[in-house]
With several copies, the nearest count.
Chain A
Amino acid sequence: MSVGQAIPTTVGEPPDGDLQQQFLYEMLLIRRFEEKCAEMYTRGKIRGFLHLYTGEEACAVGAINALRADDKIVTHYRDHGHALARGVEPNRIMAELFARVGGTNEGRGGSMHIFDVSRNFLGGYAIVAGHMPIATGLGLAANLSGEDWAALCIFGDGGVGEGEFHEALNLAAIWKLPVVWFCENNGYGMGVPFDDSLANDVYKIAASYQMPSVRIDGMDVLEVYSATQLALAHVREGNGPYFIEALTYRYRGHSMADPELYRTKAEVEEYRKRDAIERLKRSMIADGLLDETNYQALVARVDAEVDEAVAFADASPEPGLHTLYDHITKEYEGDAE
């Protein structure tokens, strides 16, 4: 863990065996879900832009498990993994990808815009960095409300090039807002290597706003979890925002449309050797928290869940044409509200 500047040293509880099981399960679920999505895209069941999260599972699972239920999340368009880690039903996510009424967003949003307000999952956002000021506003709301919930803002390394990165971080810093900025640095913004995009390391630029800022191994779910716990403890105590840069890698192309002209197969293979799921599996086996039988049972469970999600999605009807104008604005009900 590289440290941008001095950060608190007390670490949260190390995750117990049950929690590690949960991490493994969630990572497997995301992996399998995304692979199924690729298949469903090829079969024309999913359309539009589809950005898969394979390879980055440890980020979502480590960071989001550190949250409380009342903490709020906003993220970018590569959002299935985050939604799954937050407990959004695979059925409803898949139905959204199939554009059905049973989808999280009733088929209006699609892959890039998953919302589940019941879980304080306040959306995937498709304009790069466009959700960063929203996270600042969530932090402001937490402050104004006097409550101690926090906002988690997940974004990619490419988002760091946008002006809104600067504005959002600066406002959160000067107003001391409880926002955890979580940068998933997967090395590329589409085809542009991160090193060609930013004049310095992300966490160092972030540190210049005088917030604690760390770089962590985003392919180690335990490190992600513990770093996020630390960050949340910091922001909940009114110390202002905290920045985490998680180094990770996406195994697939940027989206299903990506010809991947900008990187080699060898590079991808290199990263696969550090696979977060394999790594947790191995360490759990070494620690006596898992054996091959449990593992196969987990795999079978996620397979079944993902199949069930496809079945659910397929069975869900498409929205009727008469609903085209639904939800443009929320109805005004006088002062009843």
Chain B
Amino acid sequence: MREAIREAMREEMLRDQRVFLMGEDIGAYGGSYACTRGLLDEFGPERVRDTPISESGIVGAGVGAALAGFIPMVEIMTINFSLVALDQIVNNASKLHYMSGGQVNVPLVLRMASGGGSQLGATHSHSLEGMFAHFPGLTVVCPAFPGDAKGLLKRSFREPNPVVFIEHTALYGARGEVPDDPEHLVEFGQASMVRSGTDVTLVGYSGSVHQCYRAADMLSAEHGLTADVIDLRTIRPLDMSTVVSSVRRTNRAVVVEDDWKFGGFAGEIAAQIMERAFDWLDAPVARVAGKDVPMPYNRNLEYAALPSEEDVVEAVLAML
């Protein structure tokens, strides 16, 4: 995944001189998750800019450079640190096009690493994709596979509006096919059906797609059940058509996400499924998500706090 992300940035920088990157430790250090390694050498410190630890400052600077015609990518080391920059994202990046009556636009790509599971404790294990998806004006991208990551990130650089591009730390090492084609773009708002079946629809994004996938394996191996597995790929825009038409076939759905369940984005998906497939539902839509607790450091507790494929299987069995 890491290489696919790097390749997308590299290709877009080669293609368009307006693209530049900035962030904490993206240069000499090579990026805290090594996504930008090598780019400083190739493009130099003007276009691969190391910054002080000033998230609000650099996101705002990205907005400013975007207003002046550049296409900045600002890397926020992890989603946890986006909280100190949230005002810039919400009150500036997402709203300037609207508030100016369409006069300006903000082609800004914000990349950030997300997710728990590495025993980093409560301040460093957030999954806040859903929080960003709540704000009109933002596009929120959450790839689950390297090929999609590349195509979606390249597409993000073409977007005239701000894109929040969220990478799950557990997936950086993930392998998969990645098209070489420098025009391989994946469109926003198009979910992908990564597996199909008849008994239940499993819906995920980012890391949780893999839990859905493994749960589907377990369901078929251990219980003779087959599942549609839907990878949303972007959660704003959200491709509910794919979800709804699947649920109308399978009559059951489980939505899976890492984030806390209470007030999480799975509630939106569940509510929309109810709204649009009520008469087809044989059971309430289930949500399998993070437990409502600050992330513990202890490994067992952390494991218990995160949703697992077993939890998904259990939720499916409970609705039969």
A interface residues, Cβ below 8 angstroms from B? 47-49, 72, 74, 99-100, 103-110, 112-113, 115-117, 122-123, 125-142, 144-145, 151, 158-159, 161-164, 167-168, 170-171, 174, 189-192, 196-198, 258-259, 261-262, 318-319, 321, 323-332, 334-335, 337
Residue of B27, B64, B98, B160 most packed against chain A (CB within 10 A) = B64
Across the interface, which residues of A come within 8 angstroms of B68, CB to CB?
A: 72, 137-138, 141-142, 145
In this complex, what residue of B is CB-closest to A74?
B64
Across the interface, which residues of B come within 8 angstroms of A144, CB to CB?
A: 20, 46, 65, 70
Q: How far is the CA of A191 from the CA of B23 in the complex (A)?
A: 12
Across the interface, which residues of A come within 8 angstroms of B27, CB to CB?
A: 191
Q: Are B123's CB and A48's CB within 8 A? A: no
Q: Are B29's CB and A324's CB within 8 A? A: no
Within 8 A of A (CB), among B216-239: none
Output the least CB separation between B118 and chain A (Å). 6
Q: Are A327's CB and B64's CB within 8 A? A: no
Q: Are A137's CB and B53's CB within 8 A? A: no
With contact pairs A137-B63, A324-B296 given, residues A106 and B56 touching in the complex (Cβ less than 8 Å) = no
13 A-B pairs with C-beta separation under 8 A: A47-B119, A104-B101, A107-B101, A126-B121, A130-B84, A164-B56, A164-B84, A168-B61, A170-B57, A171-B61, A192-B50, A259-B30, A327-B102
With contact pairs A105-B103, A137-B61 given, residues A198 and B92 touching in the complex (Cβ less than 8 Å) = no
B11 contacts partner chain A, Cβ-Cβ < 8 Å: no
Q: How far is the CA of A20 from the CA of B133 in the complex (A)?
A: 52
Q: How far is the CA of A192 from the CA of B31 in the complex (A)?
A: 11
With contact pairs A110-B297, A191-B25, A192-B24 given, residues A324 and B305 touching in the complex (Cβ less than 8 Å) = yes
Q: Are A261's CB and B103's CB within 8 A? A: no
With contact pairs A137-B68, A321-B300 given, residues A197 and B52 touching in the complex (Cβ less than 8 Å) = yes
Across the interface, which residues of B come within 8 angstroms of A321, CB to CB?
A: 300-301, 304
Output the least CB separation between B172 and chain A (Å). 12
Which residue in A108, A125, A145 is a CB contact (below 8 Å) of B297? Answer: A108
With contact pairs A99-B297, A142-B68, A192-B24 given, residues A109 and B56 touching in the complex (Cβ less than 8 Å) = no
B13 contacts partner chain A, Cβ-Cβ < 8 Å: no
Number of inter-chain CB pairs below 8 Å:
282
Residue of A99, A116, A137, A259 most packed against chain B (CB within 10 A) = A137
Across the interface, which residues of B come within 8 angstroms of A122, CB to CB?
A: 67, 104
Within 8 A of A (CB), among B135-152: 136-137, 139
Output the least CB separation between B110 and chain A (Å). 13
In this complex, what residue of A is CB-closest to B31?
A191
B166 contacts partner chain A, Cβ-Cβ < 8 Å: no
B127 contacts partner chain A, Cβ-Cβ < 8 Å: no
Which residue in B46, B60, B161 is a CB contact (below 8 Å) of A330? Answer: B161
Across the interface, which residues of B come within 8 angstroms of A259, CB to CB?
A: 29-30
Residue of B51, B62, B81 most packed against chain A (CB within 10 A) = B51
B253 contacts partner chain A, Cβ-Cβ < 8 Å: no
Which residue in B25, B64, B80 is a CB contact (below 8 Å) of A134? Answer: B64
Q: How far is the CA of A245 from the CA of B189 in the complex (A)?
A: 48
With A105-B99, A126-B124 given, name 7 new contacts (CB 8 A).
A49-B124, A130-B123, A142-B68, A167-B54, A258-B29, A328-B136, A330-B160
In this complex, what residue of B is CB-closest to A174?
B52
Q: How far is the CA of A189 from the CA of B27 in the complex (A)?
A: 13
Q: How far is the CA of A145 from the CA of B25 in the complex (A)?
A: 24
Q: How far is the CA of A139 from the CA of B69 in the complex (A)?
A: 12
Across the interface, which residues of B come within 8 angstroms of A127, CB to CB?
A: 80-81, 83-84, 87, 91-92, 123
B48 contacts partner chain A, Cβ-Cβ < 8 Å: no
In this complex, what residue of A is CB-closest to B108?
A137
Across the interface, which residues of B come within 8 angstroms of A191, CB to CB?
A: 25, 27-29, 50
Residue of B54, B81, B99, B137 most packed against chain A (CB within 10 A) = B54
B32 contacts partner chain A, Cβ-Cβ < 8 Å: yes
Across the interface, which residues of A come within 8 angstroms of B121, CB to CB?
A: 48, 108-110, 112-113, 126
Q: Are B104's CB and A168's CB within 8 A? A: no
Q: How far is the CA of A106 from the CA of B104 in the complex (A)?
A: 13
Across the interface, which residues of A come within 8 angstroms of B266, CB to CB?
A: none
Which residue in A99, A109, A132, A151 is a CB contact (below 8 Å) of B60? Answer: A132
With contact pairs A104-B101, A192-B29, A330-B105 given, residues A163 and B60 touching in the complex (Cβ less than 8 Å) = no
Output the least CB separation between A201 and chain B (Å). 14
Across the interface, which residues of B come within 8 angstroms of A145, CB to CB?
A: 68-69
Across the interface, which residues of B come within 8 angstroms of A329, CB to CB?
A: 97, 105, 137, 139, 160-161
Q: How far is the CA of A141 from the CA of B39 in the complex (A)?
A: 20
B159 contacts partner chain A, Cβ-Cβ < 8 Å: yes
In this complex, what residue of A is CB-closest to B15?
A335
Within 8 A of A (CB), among B77-102: 80-81, 83-84, 87-88, 91-92, 96-102
B66 contacts partner chain A, Cβ-Cβ < 8 Å: yes
Residue of A113, A133, A141 most packed against chain B (CB within 10 A) = A133
B255 contacts partner chain A, Cβ-Cβ < 8 Å: no
In this complex, what residue of A is CB-closest to B120?
A48
Residue of B56, B57, B122, B291 most packed against chain A (CB within 10 A) = B57
Q: How far is the CA of A265 from the CA of B300 in the complex (A)?
A: 38
Output the least CB separation between A146 and chain B (Å). 10
Output the least CB separation between A219 and chain B (Å). 23
Q: How far is the CA of A127 from the CA of B99 in the complex (A)?
A: 13
Q: How far is the CA of A172 from the CA of B227 in the complex (A)?
A: 54
Across the interface, which residues of A come within 8 angstroms of B25, CB to CB?
A: 190-192
B59 contacts partner chain A, Cβ-Cβ < 8 Å: yes
Q: How far is the CA of A104 from the CA of B118 in the complex (A)?
A: 20
A-B pairs, top 4 by smallest CB distance, nearest first, are A137-B64, A133-B60, A167-B57, A191-B29
Q: How far is the CA of A335 from the CA of B46 in the complex (A)?
A: 25
Q: Are A107's CB and B54's CB within 8 A? A: no
Across the interface, which residues of B come within 8 angstroms of A113, CB to CB?
A: 99-100, 121-123, 297
